[in-house]
Amino acid sequence: MAKVIVVTGATRGLGRALVPLLVAEGHTVLGCGRGERQLAELRADFPDPHAFLPVDVTQYDVVQRWAAQLLPKYGPPDLLINNAAVINTVSPLWKIDAAEFRHLIDVNVNGVFYVLKAFLPAMVERGSGVIVNLSSGWGRSTSPHVAPYCASKYAIEGLTQALAQELPAGMAAVSLNPGVIDTDMLRQSWGDAAGNYQKPHTWAKRAAPFLLNLGPKDNGRSLTVS
């Protein structure tokens, strides 16, 4: 059965790798990002009924307008993937700039909340749908020099598990650790050493069917794509 799937951070990394596989399975993908060139490429490669729009998830009003534009046409999403995230400059916590810390929390935590607040009411009213909030191994353990990122992903784990307890029967919220992937974000932390890990398109081949098979049975689980 074809699904309506919302993906934040669809212009790069894991989100971008998922899009073609989800489309190939016959699903409608509604993605957002901030890179106009990448958005134009997505629109060219995956035209209507798919939709790829410029959205800054740190802006509450912008996210609300995005949802208000999509919901009347497509209805509530069957699968909502909160993927958009950033990582901090690798540094001891006391050397992190306050503005950088604030921006990271705005994207990784506030942005997730804003997207949920925009789409969840319609999903709850319908009584079905799966929410996947991208977490990290650094949301379940820690490493030095990425304390802000760890803090944000620990927040996602807690937010998701609490949300799962609030949802009506028939819905699910899960946190998903994608594993270690050679993305631009990982390279920001590990440099060329990130090249020792799998590429996003390789990960997506396993992750897409995994995500599509999630359902109410998975509500509240902290999962990992293996």
Please report, in angstroms and rounded to a whole number, the separation of the first and last CA atoms in the chain: 25
Which 3 state secondary structure label does DSSP give 198?
A: strand
The number of beta carbons lying within 10 Å of the beta carbon of residue 77 is 26
C-alpha to C-alpha distance for 120 and 117, rounded to whole angstroms: 6
Active site residue 149: yes
Name residue 31's beta-bridge partners.
Answer: 7, 52
The catalytic residue among 60, 74, 149, 154 is: 149
C-alpha to C-alpha distance for 27 and 212, rounded to whole angstroms: 10
Which residues belong to the active site?
149
